[in-house]
Amino acid sequence: MLVPTRKNTKNIMSIPGAIPDHLTEDEINRLTAAYQDWFDSRPTRSRARHWVIFLLLRYTGARVSEILQLDDTRDIDFRNGEVIINTMKRRAKARRNVPIPSNVVAEIGRILATFPDLRGELTRISRIAVFNCFQKRAEEAGLPKQLRHPHVLRHTRAIELLRSGVPVTGVQQILGHTDISTTAIYLQLSGTEIKQIMRDRGLI
């Protein structure tokens, strides 16, 4: 799935109407490879946790705090390929079911089979540890400094889903936004992208 090229990388949502900072397709692929190579080079329990947390952040678009609250014995539906997430917003206390790719489900299952003592403890790690690991892997992947924070995965997934044709109401549900106008921010298009869409549809 393609992710549009970033036009502004100063900071997240700093300019009204601007698309939040996100990763391009190449950047997300490099970051994923950095995590996987790091884990595969020395597959320890600690690295397994970080690898799974990265995959969950990358494919659910959830907040770090939401992923760290997961109970893998209850909140990962391996049969249906879904993660059940508690929305961590002050005004919205709800659970949402977020589909994830089958290969991600399989990888999580493989990790738990390899490290059975992680069962029920898979996401029991500090927020600081998640941030520190992300920054190191992002640096290895050559990402700009302003993109070396886990929340960029949430923005990236939102744009990826919308540009792939998922309705804005569906993306709102996946991300756990209470207000659809928050989700609609990700629908902004650059002039270059608009021209390309018009060319693709024979309008210019």
Q: Which residue has the tokens 């992923």?
A: 67
**29-38, 145-154, 166-175 — which is least confidently predicted?**
166-175
| Contact present, 88 and 18 (Cβ < 8 Å) | no
Q: Looking at the domain 25-200, which fold is it? A: hpI Integrase; Chain A (1.10.443)
For residue 193, what pLDDT is reported?
60
Question: What is the residue-averaged pLDDT of the chain?
Answer: 85
Q: Is 147's pLDDT higher than 70?
A: yes
What percent of the chain lies above the pLDDT cut of 90? 62
Residue 77 DSSP SS3: strand
Indicate whether this model's pTM tops 0.85: no
Q: Which has the higher per-residue pLDDT, 16 or 32? A: 32
**20-24, 70-74, 124-128 — which is least confidently predicted?**
20-24
For residue 2, what pLDDT is reported?
31
Q: Please give the span between the terminal C-alpha atoms of the chain, in angstroms, as a whole number.
A: 25
Q: Is 78's pLDDT higher than 60?
A: yes
